Copies of this chain bind each other. A is one copy, B any other.
Amino acid sequence: MKAQILIVEDDKDLIELLEYRLSKEGYETLGFLSTKNVKKVINEEIIDLILMDRNLPDIEGSEFISMLREKDGMDIPVIYLSAKDSKYHVREGFLRGGDDYVTKPFEMTELMLRIEAILRRTKKNSQANNVTFRDIHLDLNSRIVIIENREVELTKLEFDLLHTLIIHQGNVLKRDFLLKNVWGKGAGYQGRTVNVALNRLKEKIDPDKSKDYIKTVRGVGYTIQ
């Protein structure tokens, strides 16, 4: 899907130029001469990136963005366009991660490269590596576990165990299988090892035993389904 880029810039000609080039690069554009209707549009449209003039007649572009971020939790990356000397402003620390800064006059090609870079970066962040079962969500990158909208802290072993169970959901996993796949050893463990680990996990993900995520299959192993 085409990325939508919102432009806020008081120079009409520059908007036109930007829109021309951006559409040639395959982006959708929305141009605004002031911040007037921007907030509304942001709430209604899916905007991937904002090109923001920093020196607008009515309000500081970065002020406006900060406000949106703080008050509305706006999270769209921004590239600021500014005539002012960059060094001075960069130090100010108004830039967030993912944001960038380009001084006018700028090379159109350079701007395109930066836009591309930012869009690539944010796209990647949103393509998280998740695994889900009912209301259990595992993020494999951050190793964060969310159960019923609450974050649950699991140890490495517990996380790996739950991960394995969910990947193979619907199957009953035998102790040997779990030992091999989670503990990673052919043998060397005896007795209740898997047993205890499983029950520790059960306790953590469902303390009041109301959800019954993990089922014990007597004589065989464990399953999640």
Contacts and interface: CB of A to CB of B under 8 A. Distances in A.
Interface string A65-87: 00000000000000000000011
A127 interface: yes
Given A86-B127, A132-B97, A133-B97, A219 B113 contact: no
Interface in A152-197: 155-157, 166, 169-172
A91 interface: yes
Q: Say what secondary structure dominates the interface of chain A.
A: mixed
Interface stretch (A13-21, A24-32, A36-44, A99-107): A99-107
A107 B102 CA distance: 25
* Range, interface on chain A: 35 or more
A3 interface: no
A139 interface: yes
Interface in A4-60: none
Contact of A97 (B98, B131, B139, B220): B131
Nearest to A166: B97
A133 B93 CA distance: 11
B124 A110 contact: yes
A218 interface: yes
Contact of A143 (B87, B89, B220): B220
Contacts of A114: 124
A94 to B, nearest CB: 9
A93 B142 contact: no
A125 interface: yes
Nearest to A220: B156
A113 B125 CA distance: 12
14 contacts: A87-B142, A90-B130, A90-B139, A91-B146, A95-B128, A97-B169, A114-B124, A125-B170, A141-B172, A155-B218, A156-B217, A156-B218, A156-B219, A156-B220
